Structure 1
Amino acid sequence: MADNKCEDCSHDDTVDIPDDHPAKGLGDDYDPNVMKEKFDEWSKTYDQDIEKWNYNGPKRVAESMSKIIPDKSATILDLGCCTGLVGEELSKVGFHNVDGVDISDECIKLAKGKNIYRNILNEDLSPDKTLSFGTGSYDAVILVGAGMFLDIHGMKEWLRITKTDGYTVIGVMESETTSDSVKPVVDEYLSQGLMEKVHEDIVEDYFQGKSGSIVYFRPSRK
């Protein structure tokens, strides 16, 4: 991140961040201890900040998923669920079998208080960690917004816990799909046959009035 700026999966679109704000410096490197500490603190103002910054990613992803996944009984895992903003939007469009995973105890407390998730687990989403979920556990495994903080190499694990006829869904700024932090990893996994890209929605007003990309991948397991 640049000084006093918070990038939402984009090198072009930023919002001003005070020097003492817990979001300052997030995303420079994924250190689970630092992430936990900063998000525990940020939880106090997180929902208000997201609204103030005009970040509509959770709503846009939920709207897209409602069209792509007509079965509202589908099981969904919200990666980096934070305070539950994505879960709230999924609930509004009819999805109710939603679980969450996050590293911040304070964020999890707030998300649980919204009564929109079946279960929320505290787990480390580092790319070298194996999540506690079994292979093919979910119809959809989604990452919305947290992509600015997490290493996309973790996608191998996200694909593992997605059903072979399901979707691993990534919601980012449209500009981020071609960034050095995302495109090389996605291209590598596609070329290795670990997954296939089955759909992409380009949506308006994702963040700060800019467009977003919601990409649906399907795992390939032999």
Structure 2
Amino acid sequence: MITVRISFKKRDEASYISLLDLQRVMQRVLKRSGLPVWHTLGFNPHIYMTFACPLSLGQESECECVDVKTEAEAPDFAQWQTALNAIMPTGIEVYRVEPVKMKADAIAYACYRIRYPASAAPLLEQYNTLDSVPVEKKSKRGVRMVEMKDYVPALTLEPEGESVSFAVCLPAAQELNLNPSLLTAALEARFGLSAASASILRTEFLTADKQKFQ
């Protein structure tokens, strides 16, 4: 049995598909495609699927992936990609299908491109003058304080016409997973920049030694 990684982009209106709904979408698409994916056993068999680092609602991504299994001996992955894209909902595009190279727990960082209106640049630059930006991270285990400056020491702004953007890489491991919305919330609290005016795009995953996750 081969474990297959389906890598896809999730953009535009598809960014508002929750993880639970995305699981349903993938179940339906894989069933409709007729691809030889493996189903779990028991009274309620369903397609085995594992998603890496679920994305927050409203955030876009260029590097999502879901792992499935197949008993096919020599699957045609180019045909898999074509078959899936033919019936994917708008905003989801499969860009690679291949055997799994790294396990999902190898992911240590997630990188993002955050965009604001160009008028926000002067306020964003003030972040670089701060010595400390403590934020509250809430989880099932309670609330803990995280120093955002430890992970985002400074913002390097890049003008993009009517927008300005910057890149950040944040921990995305089981021990610590920081959502970029913590940063946009901190910018709103400090400088009055509406978090709703920021668009967040996940661009890639990295391993602990900062290699590209595959």
TM-score, L = length of structure 2: 0.22
TM-score, L = length of structure 1: 0.21
Kindly name which structure, 1 or 2, has the bigger radius of gyration based on alpha carbons. Answer: 2
Which structure ranks higher in relative contact order (CA pairs < 8 Å, sequence separation ≥ 6)? 2
Q: Which structure shows the bigger proportion of residues in helix conformation?
A: 1
